Amino acid sequence: MSLESGQLVFVKDEVEGWLPATVGATNGQGEDMSLELVHEDGRTETVSKVSDEWLQRGDPSCLKGVEDMVKMDILTVGSVLHNLRTRYANQDIYTSVGSILAAINPYVLIPSLYDENCMNLYANMATDAGAPPHPYELMELAYRGLITDHRSQSVLISGESGAGKTETTKYLLSYLSHRSSTMEKERREAVPSVEQRRNSIGGRFSVEDSVVMSNPVMEAFANAKTTRNHNSSRFGKYIQVTLHASGVVTGGRVTTYLLEKTRVARQLAGERSYHVFYQLCQGADDDLRARLGLKEAAEFRSLTGGGCVEIDSMDDAEGFSETARCMESIGIGSEAKEGVFRVVAAVLHLLNVEFDMVDIPGQDVGSKVSERGEDSSLSWASKLLGVKPDQLEEALVARFINPGGFGSSDFVVVPSSPLVAASARDAVAKALYSSLFDWLVEKINLTLTAAMNSKTAANTSNRFIGLLDIFGFEAFGTNSLEQLLINYANERLQQQFNAFVFKLEEEEFAKQGLSKVYVEHCRVEFADNDDVLRLLEGKPQGILSLLKEESTLKTGTGLKLGKRYRQAFKGNDRFALPRARGGSRAGTEATFGIVHFAGEVIYDATEFVEKNKDEVPTALHDLVLSSNDREDTSWSS
């Protein structure tokens, strides 16, 4: 590394990552060089044996902050980090990297950053205008690309949990709705209330409203508080917004991925279940509370597992009103809304059912429901599900096994222990909630499709703007199958990012015979994660393929799977074993680590197989399907 007196450098720091310093006097060259460093606080130190591991050259422009880091001459980690830090300190939370927008969550509302005047600024900017980096700028580029190039566009939103992906998705959708509205004369009036923003034809909501307001509904039913984020998306979604050739939004479709069903039944310390459970308990009026048998949230076992019922920054009663209003905006009327809330309440009551042990002479230990009676959890769950209490209890406390195998009509009733009965209870509760969420998403899609009038539909192309909002990378104290799948998805996104930003650019230089120029002047070192993906999705031996195989075995368990992982991937640089303090190996045989692109994560495979099977006992499945409330819960609006 060649350094001169007065040059900006960055010095490795355990707390801040990299800190700026200025080179004072230098002595010698190469490995024998020693130099004096002057730090920001005025300290000076003399160092020898300069190494790239702890000292990097810096770009002076980062000290003031550069809007687009592509314009920086020296793109070292220290320069990039300090540029982001400088801009963040000035409340400039957005920074461009060419066509990429980097965002740092301020966790406070910055005045005027997302108002209508700001939207108009980006809508009216020239193609080469120097407007500050912003999600609106990104959506404007996608919007113009679709109209002028006649090609569909997509915006990929990635980042760690709590980075602000969900909020960014809202801003992007709001801006797209604004741009669409300004294209039609009759939609240019900005009216704030939901009730007044109805389409004048048939009292329906506009397409733009339906697209924007579907988001809060999905948040209520699929977002929750985690230890890192009070409004964490516990699912992934891809939103496709279709547009007319003129730039008017004509419809859309939402595809969801990997709803975290286990959160319905239990949560880690400091976390909550999904927002809608708490909203319903806090916001329902007296009549609805009476019809659903609701109590305070703290009285439902499934809402207290994380030891966190209330959030200081969140008003659950107000959230309930907002959720109900937005459900109306996507075509869910009063009767349908109550049908939805009946299922939510049924899940709460079902998860409050507890079991006592029963000794059965000559048989295995059995169980019975701890509490019965008109106001019991069993009674309310049965009533709301449209089944008889005796039938529900029987399906929970016994298993129906077919010893004759497929095609046989002979069944043997096997008593379930309290632990097995509780597992069956949790399984059906998770399945009910998951089915409800799927129904809501399909209702959103039907509404977005129906919102197109025949004239617009006839002139609609297949072009769309897609928004992918998926979970951020996760590493908690305890990481199970949910975290593995979330991090796998993030590895895939990182691979796409690497291909788009680095590999395609290198290939383009090679096509033009400029490989040497690229290597000498343009190449940026990046962490390739192809080897991590080979570990995860390799066949016949990969993390996921072995999980699938173990799940098909009658005797398959998470512990056995963990042992198989340790044996199969021993020596793989991306596979690690937990370490205790002092460097010795630690953890059970079910624990293992993966060195992801974002860092090492230790997983516990104990429940991998059970969660992957995701089985609902046949008797419970059939009982719910036989509900006398099924016609009522078709929920047509």
C-alpha 596/C-alpha 527 separation (Å) is 10
Q: Considering 174, 233, 376, 379, which one is annotated as catalytic?
A: 233
Q: Is the peptide bond before 418 cis (omega within 30 degrees of 0)?
A: no
Say how far apart CA 361 and CA 21 lie, in whole Å: 80
Determine whether the annotation assigns residue 161 to a binding site.
yes
Active site residue 319: no
Which of 346, 398, 423 minimizes the C-alpha distance to 377?
346
Of 83, 166, 169, 379, which residue is the catalytic one? 166
Residue 161 annotated among the catalytic residues of the structure: yes
Q: What is the DSSP string of 334-395?
A: HHHHHHHHHHHHHHHHHHT--EEEE--TTS--EEEES--STTSHHHHHHHHHTS-HHHHHHH
Task: Compute CA distances 361 → 310, 355, 358, 394, whole Å.
Answer: 46, 19, 10, 18
* Residue 165 annotated as binding site: yes
Q: How many CB atoms lie under 10 A from the CB of residue 608?
A: 26
CA distance 586 to 597: 23
> d(Cα 501, Cα 504) in Å, to the nearest integer?
7
Is 232 marked active-site? yes
Helix or strand run (H / E) with residue 621: helix 618-625
Residue 474 is among the residues annotated as catalytic for this protein: yes
What is the C-alpha to C-alpha distance for residues 494 and 537, in angstroms, rounded to an integer? 15
User: Is 166 assigned a catalytic role?
Assistant: yes
Q: What are phi and psi of 302, to 5 degrees?
A: -75, -10
Q: Would you say 256 is a known binding-site residue? A: no
What CA–CA distance (Å, rounded) separates 289 from 285? 6
Question: How many angstroms separate the CA atoms of 134 and 112, rounded?
Answer: 12
Among 283, 472, 558, 562, the active-site one is: 472
Q: Which of 474, 482, 491, 550 is catalytic?
A: 474
Pairing of strands 460-469, 153-157: parallel
How many CB atoms are closer than 10 A to CB 571?
6
Judged by DSSP in three states, 191 sits in coil
Instruction: Give the amino acid at 617.
Output: P
CA dist 364 and 415 (Å) reads 7
Which residues lie closer than 8 Å to 109 by C-beta, 6 or more apart?
A: none
* Beta bridge partner(s), residue 619: none
Q: Which of 162, 252, 319, 562 is the catalytic position?
A: 162
Active site residue 162: yes
| Coil/strand/helix, residue 610 | helix
- The kind and range of the H/E element at 539 are none
Distance of alpha carbon 273 from alpha carbon 266, whole angstroms: 7
Q: Is 250 a catalytic residue?
A: no
**Secondary structure element (H or E) that encloses residue 374, with its range:** none
- Catalytic hit among 79, 232, 367, 606: 232
Q: What angle do CA 70, 497, 81 make, to 5 degrees?
A: 45
Q: Which of 161, 180, 215, 487 is catalytic?
A: 161
Instruction: Please report, as a single letter, which amino acid is at residue 25.
Output: A
Q: Identify the bridge partners of residue 254 per DSSP, sorted by sequence position.
A: 239
Annotated binding-site residue? 166: yes
The Cβ of residue 286 has, within 10 Å, a number of other Cβ atoms equal to: 8
Structure tokens at 208: 């733009």
Active site residue 417: no
- Residue 103, annotated as binding a ligand: no
Q: Which of 96, 168, 181, 229 is catalytic?
A: 229
Q: Are 64 and 72 in contact (CB under 8 A)?
A: no
Contacts of 88 (CB under 8 A, 6+ apart): 104, 106
* Residues classed as catalytic: 161-162, 166, 229, 232-233, 472, 474
Q: Which residues are annotated as a binding site for ATP?
A: 159-166
Q: Which residues are annotated as a binding site?
A: 159-166
